[in-house]
Structure 1
Amino acid sequence: MKRARATVTPDEMEQYFDNLAETTDGVPPQNIFNYDESNLSDDPGRKKVTAKRGSKYVDRIMNTSKSAHSVMMCGSAHGNLLPVYTVYKSAELWETFL
């Protein structure tokens, strides 16, 4: 998680969703899409982190990362999903990746 994301306040999040509701008012769900990208890092770094005991999901905040493969997903508010798109860092794509 980047440092800028970790500093977002609950008030800023509430304002974002209020603005989103106002912007999408009257738009049919099949015309509202959300796109997200996740990175699969090939060098996760240290294997140990300091966290509160019993924490189920621990995020590591850092400003740098090694190379990664991007996995992109897109779906509509109506429930339609587009196929997952993966970006590999390579000059040539191996046939086994297809």
Structure 2
Amino acid sequence: MAPRPPLKCAYCKEEGHSATRCTHLVEDLDRRIVRTQGASCLFPNYQRVPMEGNESAKDIVRDFGKEQAEINKKLMEKTTFKSKPKEEVKPT
């Protein structure tokens, strides 16, 4: 009987653990930049994270998280009301 190949995580593509024991997935779930539904990983908008190809789902999710943070920052800058400096009132 041939030896089994090393266990490889479907989320981060690192060897030695599965997605159910992936610390990277736990971190991203805590940060709410990914969701899980069964064996699938989903973006916060419930769109499926592509898990085929060379790039890991972890990298795709974290890139998405960075982009969303930048968008949110720009939106906050546009909608935050900035107070005008107070003008000094001179006695007459």
TM-score of the two chains, using structure 2 as the length reference: 0.22
Higher normalized contact order (CA 8 Å, seq sep 6+, divided by chain length) = 1
